[in-house]
Amino acid sequence: MNQTIKIAAIVPAAGVGSRMQVGYPKQYLKVAGKTILEHTLDKLGELSELCKIVVAVSDSDEYFSALTLSDQRIMRVSGGSERADSVLNGLNALSQIQPDWVLVHDAARPLVLADDIRTLVSECVSHNEGGILAAKVKDTIKRGHTHSIETVPRELLWQALTPQFFPYEQLKHALEQALSKGVSITDEASAMEWAQHSVKLIPGRSDNIKITTPEDYDLACFLLAKQRENKSND
């Protein structure tokens, strides 16, 4: 990464993860002795170039304070009712630091690799435009409700992943304006697209999955074990 630019990270972690059906936020499920959130923060912690790692957590969250987090760059801020609100709170908390760029990464994506993040950062900075990690859609895609209406051509379809990486001021302004106008924001890229900023698609590993359902959790347990095994063999 370019050492002359200042980069911070934001991890929105205020969701409850109701689809996991465990009675508490899914980011606190444990895998190999650590919570999903701890694994995610460990991955970001591998990036020494980050000046700050902001975690947006619900004010009613009673689990975060019990985590053992040794990285002094981690800072807790209040999460919002929606993802975009949490990210904007994180951006506002960074106002005194004024980073040049900001990474936004899902709390429930602990499988991301540092090499993919470095590729994202390098590509975006060298072209001076924001971008996201993404994976080309491999399956045949159908459109419909209870019955298939049509098969959707997949040649131009990508699955959006995280991190998503944008200039700090651009992202902050785009989110503020979109939220003030009631625009539906599903991720940071959607806010930037609405504000008519370009969003680069940087190919990333498709196993950078977001843990949303029990099936995702089982798969993540297996994949994290494989990552740890590969790392110990290096």
Tens of each residue's pLDDT in the chain, 234 residues: 555 899 999 999 998 766 666 678 999 999 988 999 999 999 999 999 999 999 999 999 999 999 999 999 999 999 999 999 999 999 999 999 999 999 999 999 999 999 999 999 999 999 999 999 999 999 999 999 999 999 999 999 999 999 999 999 999 999 999 999 999 999 999 999 999 999 999 999 999 999 999 999 999 999 999 998 888 787
Q: What pLDDT does 62 receive? A: 92
Q: What pLDDT does 229 receive? A: 86
Q: What pLDDT does 4 receive? A: 84
Residue 225 lies in a domain: yes
Residue 189 lies in a domain: yes
Query: Nearest Cα to 105, choosing from 127, 124, 123, 120?
Result: 120
Residue 128: which CATH number?
3.90.550.10
% helix, strand, coil for the chain, step of 5 = 35, 25, 40
Residue 2 lies in a domain: no
Question: At 53, is the secondary structure helix, strand, or coil?
Answer: strand
Q: What pLDDT does 173 receive? A: 98
> How many structural domains compose the chain?
1
Largest CA distance in the chain: 53
Note whether 109 and 133 are within 8 A (CB): no
Residue 1 lies in a domain: no
Q: What pLDDT does 230 receive? A: 85
Residue 61 lies in a domain: yes
Q: How far is CA 39 from CA 35, 76, 161, 192, in A?
A: 6, 16, 17, 28
Report CA 133 to chain centroid distance, whole Å: 10
Q: Which residue pairs from 152-158 have beta carbons closer than 8 angstroms and sit at least 24 positions apart in sequence?
A: 158/134, 158/201
CA distance 79 to 66: 17
Structural domain span for residue 180: 7-233
Alpha helices in the chain (DSSP H): 36-45, 83-93, 114-127, 168-180, 188-194, 214-233
pTM over 0.85: yes
